[in-house]
Amino acid sequence: MDNNGLYRIYVNCELTSKEDVYTFMSDVVCQDDLAQKEVVVNQFNQREKAGSTLIADHVMLPHIESNHIKNSHIIVIRLAKPILSWDEETKDIRLVMGILLKEHENVEIKKKIAMFTRSLAHEDYLNRLLTISERDTFYQALKKF
Amino acid sequence: MKIVGVAACTVGIAHTYIAQEKLENAGKKAGHDISVETQGTIGTENELTQQQIAEADIVIIAADVKIAGRERFEGKRIIQVPTEIAVKSPNKLLEKAVEVVNQKESLK
């Protein structure tokens, strides 16, 4: 795991389902507050009901804005093994990038996150994130934003 | 072809910006003059000018929420899709836009 301000980066993460991923991300941002964790997980599920957060083959971008989050985070999870069935329609997920935006976040942080999400429009960049095997190179590729 | 667009999603931090970037990149690659306004959590960015709208052959609205200023496009040919379509299939969406414009031209 690598902690650096906005980013929380995890590689070779042993998570096996969408539920595991949402719980993991809620643990990161809410730590010991069980009630808040539950709310955050529900918000992810609600967002997903509004439309898929699959942005490219093998890549999910779940995102929420919440007053239950103290600090905004981009949580990047490179899975140790693909999640073969994220849901009925979404299969073989290898990389999850969760955006957890604090309600009323300041514009500078929002701009940083927006710059990051714009970068995800580039297939070459996403392919690099999916295939880089060196841990340090993976961190560097993410932190250029 | 001249294309203008608006991207807006529910949270306004993810699909909005990816849709904009994908549409603009795919449009420029296909040789179109394209500009996409974002209505996200930061507010409106890359706001379309009256001239851009007036000159546009078509408007693409990639949105999961009601967009602000839709009346600016009154009388224009509009394609509206969820942001997911612009994110997953920008090229197909632009091909559809070209098809719509060409159909309109052939009816003149």
Domains of chain B: 2-106 (3.40.50.2300)
pLDDT digits (tens, 9 = 90+) for A85-136: 999 999 999 999 999 999 999 999 999 999 999 999 999 999 999 998 888 8
Among candidates A110, A142, A108, A137, which has minimal Cα distance to A125? A142
Among the CATH numbers 3.40.930.10, 3.40.50.620, 3.90.1170.50, 3.40.50.720, which is that of A2-143?
A: 3.40.930.10
Is B9 part of the annotated catalytic residue set? yes
> Considering B6, B8, B9, B56, which one is annotated as catalytic?
B9
C-alpha angle with apex B42: B41 to B47, nearest 5 degrees? Answer: 110
Model pTM greater than 0.95?
no
Closest partner CB to B21 (pick from A53, A56, A118): A118
Share of chain A above pLDDT 90, in %: 74
Buried b (16+ CB within 10 A) or exposed e, A124-133: eebeebeebe
Q: How many CA atoms lie within 13 A of A22 on its CB side?
A: 21
- Interface confidence (ipTM) of the complex: 0.87
> How far apart are the C-alpha atoms of A58 and A79, rounded to whole Å?
11
Separation of CA A132 from chain center: 17
In this structure, the strands spanning A2-4 and A59-60 are: unpaired
Is B18 in Cβ contact with A120 (below 8 Å)?
yes
Is A121 in Cβ contact with B21 (below 8 Å)?
yes
Among candidates B19, B80, B61, B15, which has minimal Cα distance to B41? B15
Closest partner CB to A63 (pick from B13, B20, B42): B13
pLDDT digits (tens, 9 = 90+) for A10-53: 999 999 999 999 999 999 988 778 888 999 999 999 998 888 89
